[in-house]
Amino acid sequence: MIPGALAAMTAALLSGREDWYRRIPLFGFFGALGWSFGGSISYMQVISYTHSGHSPSVLYGFACLFVIGFLWAATAGAATAMPAIFSRERLDELFPAIIAVFVGWTVQDIGLAWLAFDDSAFRHENPLYWYDTDWVGVTVAVVSIITLAAIRRKWDEGCWLVFYMAVGWWIGFLLLVNILGLRMTPPRGDSWAGVLGMVGGLSVFFWKRGEREILWATLCAGFWGGFGFAFATLLKLIEVKSGWNTNWHSVLEQTYGFINGLGIALVMWTLRSRVPAVNENRARPWINKFAIVFVLLIVTYLNLQKNPNDWIKAKTVPAALYSIPAQVWFAGAYVLLLAAFLWIIKTRPAFIPQTALGRGQLLLLIFLWWMTIGNFERAVVNFAPQRLITEGVIFLNAIILTFLIVQPLAPAGIQAQPFNLARTAALGIAVMLLTSIGSWGIERAIYGDTFAGHGNLHVRFGPNGPSAAPTPGNPHP
């Protein structure tokens, strides 16, 4: 959610479009939300396949990484493009349903915590475990919008959006995993199938409404993200061959993130000159305020709430202060911050810029450095030279972004042009085949049948496959 919000707000700030400046909080909201879904997909074992030295598993691993990357980035491309294309009235109409789902998920988390359902390494023993997927959350989303519609006696476009995504999720999961028995990375989770169905449901939703621009953004970002995940893994394997000992997985994550950022930049750069100006007619003022609170308070809290546990493990903070757990102190501090931010939003003090561009720049700067400093606070208690490849690079990126966001581009000239979805899809499929086969060939040329290391050995097929317990000494079939 962090890079999703950063990329979307940065794209809007650098667009040169005054209509996008006024929607920067909404870009942050939808950018964060769009990138969040892919995080439920299991991928570490798929990466391990590409390290295995087992030829079919290596090819399979790169192909599956492309699929995972596509699914992760496709929802992100769609969500990031929505504030750039939807009228303000249509955009605002989505929020009641989205907030209803948030409420439902919050109640779900509280209920599962109260029932002491295990969410750890032993979650497979949980009675709600079903191929380690998010089926409970998807069901809760549907119940939430039905409840909302019953209360309001209205089924609006937001409810339809959630409904299409949820039904698509269930179709993908039931058909691919439960009926056809297709499991990407057994015994790991199969959320990939649900997310694939969800992308399908999202695409049908936009297709029926004639939103070709958002469909193009979905495909373009998706195929770019698929290429990015597979290619970043290949680069990692090439870099590992150098013999240098560092946190190569972090290098992979940051490389993939960088490529995804380029994909969002490509999508938004194209849209800035090809979609007409969006209006702010009949805007609901509370929507922007909610988006600001979501980006600055909710996204940061969801990530930084993990800090106290790391501080406690490092013995830099006691588990309890005056008999109150450290996590409660941390949550209490955020409640006070929420109160302060709500007061600032209400009173609009003099330090809040008068222009939409200035307010957007301030929002992004606060969010950027809030997360950069918060991340460093987590890592500093166990800092080591290897952390420079993560925290050091994050700090450098924050400095570069600080320079970028104060240099908006000149206004964009808009020339509406149709988007060729068939050509985009055909090109993307060709890129998938070339990336998967090309990465497999390069990896085989470098490593042959040798296990690349830097991870556990996992083989997808043959006697050393998922049903076996492979060790580095076992020969490959």
Q: Give first-to-last CA distance, the chain, whole Å.
A: 41
Residue 391 placed within a domain: no
Most confident segment among 42-51, 112-121, 244-253 = 42-51
pLDDT at residue 475 in the model: 38
Contacts of 77 by beta carbon, 8 Å cutoff, 6+ apart: 34, 217, 218, 219, 220, 221, 222, 225, 263, 264, 267
Task: Summarize the confidence of residues 249-276 as an average pLDDT.
Answer: 92
Does residue 188 lie within any of the structural domains? yes
Please give the angle made by the CA atoms of 228, 195 and 260, to the nearest 5 degrees: 20
What pLDDT is recorded for position 269?
92
- Residue range 320-353, pLDDT digits in tens: 999 999 999 999 999 999 999 999 988 889 899 9
Rounded to whole angstroms, the Cα distance separating 250 from 269 reads 28
The token pair at 410 is 């000149």
What pLDDT, in 10s, does the model give residues 364-396?
A: 999 999 999 999 999 898 888 878 888 899 999
421 part of a folded domain: yes
Residue 119 has what pLDDT? 57
Radius of gyration for the chain, computed over Cα atoms and rounded to the nearest angstrom: 23
470 confidence band (pLDDT: 50, 70, 90): very low
Residue 210, domain member (yes or no)? yes
CA contacts within 13 A on the Cβ side of 122: 4
Could you tell me if 83 and 27 are in contact, meaning their C-beta atoms sit under 8 angstroms apart? yes
> Does any domain span residue 383?
no
pLDDT on residue 55: 92
**3-state secondary structure at position 325:** strand
Q: Which domain holds residue 81?
A: 41-277+414-477
Residue 385 located in a structural domain: no
Q: Is residue 73 part of a domain?
A: yes
pLDDT digits (tens, 9 = 90+) for 144-156: 999 999 999 999 9
Task: Evaluate whether residue 233 is within a structural domain.
Answer: yes
In this predicted structure, the answer to whether residue 233 has a pLDDT above a threshold of 50 is yes
Answer whether 304's CB lies under 8 Å from 298's CB: no
Predicted model pTM: 0.90
pLDDT above 80 (res 35): yes
| The token pair that represents 76 in the structure block | 């992100």
Residue 95: is its pLDDT beyond 70? yes
Domain count, the chain: 1
